[in-house]
Amino acid sequence: MMMSRMSGSTRILSTDITIVGIDPGSRLLGLAAIRVHGGKPEALDGTLLKVRGESPGQKLQSIYDTVGAYLETWNPHQGALEDLFSKPNVHTTVVLARVSGIILLRFSQADLPLTLYPPARVKSAITGYGNASKDQIRYVVVKTLGLPEDIPEDVSDAYAVALSHAFLHRELS
């Protein structure tokens, strides 16, 4: 599995490619599939996963199963995951690290490259400003992909991660 941290230019991929973007969460997980065709991004699907399970293990199993099914459904060429950033609550950081680990494992098992993007880099790629608000991100995502304005925040974030990959990743692996 190829895993890389972002770097590169702001041109969009010109090759036809399907990208899955993921906004990790312990209660809600945003998943989005886009296709880039001739340099133009197109939304294929946005899904909000409400994580099920009583125990931490059951919740991680739910994420594992859902991400695996999503990869099988959309058959992406690459994936993009919003990376962790430091949170004041250590417990929240640990839980999100577990979720991200499950996602990394699922992509590795599918032999798919996954790129991690810090939140500020996603914001910068989408709006040109690394401290953009959620509303600013959603506005650009909705306009770029022709989506309804009332898409869930986590789905909008997943689309933003996938679009960031398309805007910033220079070459296919």
Task: Indicate the SS3 state at residue 119.
Answer: helix
pLDDT given for residue 39 in this prediction:
83
Cβ within 8 Å of residue 164, ≥6 positions away: 6, 21, 80, 117, 121, 122, 125, 126
Q: What is the pLDDT of residues 64-96, one digit of tens each?
A: 999 999 999 999 999 999 998 766 788 888 999
Number of H helices, E strands in the chain: 5, 6
Q: Give the tens place of pLDDT for each residue, 29-57.
A: 999 999 998 889 999 999 999 999 999 99
Give 97 or 8, the one with higher predicted confidence: 97
First to last CA, the chain: 10
**Domain map (residue ranges) of the chain:** 3-167
Which are the catalytic amino acids? 23, 82, 154
- Per-residue pLDDT band for 10 (boundaries 50, 70, 90) equals very low
Other beta carbons within 10 Å of 30 = 25
Q: Confirm or reject CATH 3.30.420.10 for domain 3-167, answering yes or no.
A: yes
Provide the whole-model pTM.
Answer: 0.89
Percent of the chain residues past pLDDT 90, beyond the cut: 78
